[in-house]
Amino acid sequence: MAVTAFSSAQVALVTNDKPVLVGSNAVESAAVSHWLRANDLTGTSYDSTTLPIKRAYDRFTHLPTSPSAANGLHYLSFDLGADVKPWDMIMIGGHNFGTLGLSICKVQKADSNAFSSGLTDVHSFSPGSSNKRLVAFLASQYTTTDARYVRLVINLTTGTGIPEVGEFWLGRRRHLPYNFNSSTQNLRTRSDIVRFESRSGVTTNYVLSSGRAIREGSIDIDDSDHHDEVAGWWTDCDYGSQSFLWIEEPGTTPQNCHMMTTTPELSFEQTGPTNRKLDLAMVESAPYLSGES
């Protein structure tokens, strides 16, 4: 398969924990998508009418998709279409793999809709007993129609079960070249409550949500290629109108991947002949990463 390998400098952006923004998801262009037990995308599907596959790419991790019945082996399979968006990272969120005790799941790509030629393992995960998000940054970027057939393999080595997947991303990462000038307050969270105080002075908090991540910061970027990366991310998330992924430490803790939203107005002021200043304020979209286990 034809792929584009990243340079050592690009790989270093991951290992050196330069922040990542991901606005696009190649799965959203899928021409065909099915839950399968066998290989062929044209074969018998096990799609649920109440938990449709569209939920795997609707950018809401709390709405899962599932197959219609339990089994030991499940394939969440896609024909991404003839015009495949570039992708070089994987995120699987809102899943129940830890509950199922899934030892290994993997993403594969192939040359045919029967997954009979060019079948290649892209990446394997080991969820174990955890339902936390699964995130991987790949060494190559897939950009051609040779990568149009992709599937998530869920193999329960003992027993049967019904897997759930809230979000399945094949995204294009956009690296910021440096960390923010001012702290993004990486532990900053917010809880939304309604507070009621009775006449006797007793205060009761009614919790609407808790643990929402808040991130704010600014960064000076003086390279035109990195300017293009910011502009590309902004286009990828439809000019800020769609949620996107934010990973603060892609090399150290890639699983700490927040689904974020921002004000749909890009503040990227030109402050010098080659310099632009990016001001970015993000709030997390529920369910929050802080509540995952």
Which two structure tokens, joined as six digits, stand for 173?
């990462």
**What distance lies between CA 179 and its chain's CA centroid?**
21
Q: Do residues 117 and 16 share a domain?
A: yes
Note whether residue 213 is domain-resident.
yes
Note whether residue 184 is domain-resident.
no
Note whether residue 262 is domain-resident.
yes
Please report which confidence band the pLDDT of residue 2 belongs to, taking 50, 70 and 90 as the band edges.
Answer: low
Domain count, the chain: 2
Q: Which whole number is the average pLDDT over 228-250?
A: 97
Q: Do residues 100 and 214 share a domain?
A: no
Q: Do residues 167 and 241 share a domain?
A: no
Note whether residue 182 is domain-resident.
no
Indicate the SS3 state at residue 49.
coil
Which stretches of the chain are DSSP H helices?
A: 8-15, 97-100, 224-236
* 105-110 and 4-5 strand pairing: unpaired
CATH number of the domain at 64, please: 2.60.120.260
Cβ pair 99, 186 in contact under 8 A: no
Q: Which helix (H) or strand (E) holds 224?
A: helix 224-236
Which two structure tokens, joined as six digits, stand for 201?
């002075």
Which two structure tokens, joined as six digits, stand for 226?
């990195």
Peptide bond into 254 cis (omega under 30): no
Q: What is the pLDDT of residues 186-223, one digit of tens each?
A: 788 888 889 999 999 899 999 888 999 999 989 999 99
Q: What is the pLDDT of residues 49-105, one digit of tens each?
A: 999 999 999 999 999 999 999 999 999 999 999 888 899 999 999 999 999 999 999
Please identify, among 175, 205, 230, the residue that sits at the C-terminal boundary of a domain.
175
Q: Do residues 137 and 260 share a domain?
A: no
Indicate the SS3 state at residue 162.
coil
Q: Do residues 8 and 137 share a domain?
A: yes
At residue 43, does pLDDT exceed 60?
yes
Note whether residue 183 is domain-resident.
no
The whole-angstrom separation of Cα 237 and Cα 288 is: 20
Please identify, among 175, 209, 235, the residue that sits at the C-terminal boundary of a domain.
175
Q: Do residues 48 and 158 share a domain?
A: yes
Q: Do residues 171 and 193 share a domain?
A: no
In sequence order, the β-bridge partners of residue 247 are 20, 257
Mean model confidence pLDDT for the chain: 93
Q: Do residues 98 and 195 share a domain?
A: no
Q: Do residues 12 and 85 share a domain?
A: yes
Please report which confidence band the pLDDT of residue 46 belongs to, taking 50, 70 and 90 as the band edges.
Answer: very high
- Which CB contacts under 8 angstroms, 24+ apart, belong to 9-13? 10/175, 11/139, 13/175, 13/177, 13/250
Q: Do residues 171 and 206 share a domain?
A: no
Q: What is the pLDDT of residues 106-136, one digit of tens each?
A: 999 999 999 999 999 999 999 999 999 999 9
Q: What residue numbers bound the domain in which 136 lies?
A: 4-175
Q: Do residues 218 and 141 share a domain?
A: no
Q: What is the pTM of this model?
A: 0.92
Q: Do residues 49 and 162 share a domain?
A: yes
